Structure formats: C-alpha cells, structure tokens
Chain A
C-alpha cells in the first residue's frame, strides 16, 4: 500500500507571511506528483503536475519543488493572502497506477 504523507496537517499563518509545507512519497518507480488546492465548498483545483526530478514550478505567489530521489515535494506560498486559505492536497502516481492522495495540509491565513 502506497503511503503519501503531508505535513503539517494544519497551519495558521499571518497575512503577508510566507509559508511552506511538505509532501512525502515513495521514491521508487516515480511517474508524477500533483498538487491541488481545495477551497471550502468549491472543487479541488489543479495547481501543478510535476514529473522530473529537480522540477520547480510557479503560479503567481505559489511555487513547488520536486525531489524524486528522496521522495518529497515542497509547496511554497509567498506573501500569504486570505484567499490562500484552503486545503492543499498532493497526489502521487507510481508507474501506471492510480493517484494516491495525501491527507492534505489545511492552511488558514489570519488577517
């Protein structure tokens, strides 16, 4: 059974501060790592699909890095805003298998 772990489980950050959190996954037979943002009462929204070791992707104030050899990805948010409050999910695909999701990091931005 694949184990995808996210930490921390929840995080409270002051508006304007930067933050980051981690997704850990098995390092063998890597295919892809996905990041999603899920705001309350909305659909989970795809942020990044990462496939190559050393990948760095950026979307506005949000960026992500990938280390497939050691099995982790970091998500960074620079200058947090209230609209960044959401649950951030990572999902790992190993080879031709299905996506396996972590339990998510619930981020709350305090104004």
Chain B
C-alpha cells in the first residue's frame, strides 16, 4: 500500500513570495490533515478535511494561508505572502478514523 506522498520535499523562498505544497493521501482515507512543525516544537494542526469539507481550521492563519481538497483526494496548502516565521516542516497526514494518522515525509520550507 502506497504511503502519503508530499511534494516538494524542500523549498527555499524569499519573504513575501508565494509557495504551494501538495499532498496525496493513502487511497480511501477520507480525513486529511496539514500540520506545521517549527524547529523545537511539536507538529501543530493547521487544517483538517473530511472528504472535501473543512472540519477544523481554527489554527490556520487565514490572512496568508489557504488550503483546498477539491475532489476529496489530494490537497494543496498555499502560503501567500510568506513570512520568515513560516519556516518549518509542513506535514500532511491521512486516516480512515480518529485512530492512527499516517504521515508523509513533509516539506521543509525555508523563508529567507
């Protein structure tokens, strides 16, 4: 069974530029999560989708971050414009229930 795929693996941008990350969850997993992991901290949930609907986006900085999951399968997370403090690893995870979440390898973003 293929795991959660994410791309790109690494991205370096200048502040005020835009960036987008892509995630393809495990086939059949209805729930998809995006996490932000800043160095020295635990992963923080940004947004949770159930199929193509948003369940929780309470910690998503909506002035600059957006996410979509149009067909209930893959998802994109966008930052526009990026700030220095957005430097982090962005993890995507998926699950069929509220039990184990399966993670992708993450995208490491550096904002200069």
Contact = CB atoms under 8 A, between A and B. Distances in A.
Interface of A: 4, 6, 32, 34, 36, 41-46, 49, 89, 91, 93, 96, 98-104
Contact of A99 (B3, B40, B41, B45): B45
Contact of B42 (A32, A42, A102): A102
Interface in B94-112: 98-106
Interface of B: 3-4, 35, 40-45, 48, 56, 91, 98-106
Contacts, number: 45
A93 B98 CA distance: 9
Given A32-B98, A32-B99, A102-B42, 16 more contacts: A34-B101, A42-B105, A43-B3, A43-B102, A43-B104, A44-B91, A45-B103, A46-B100, A91-B42, A96-B98, A99-B45, A99-B101, A100-B42, A101-B35, A103-B40, A103-B41
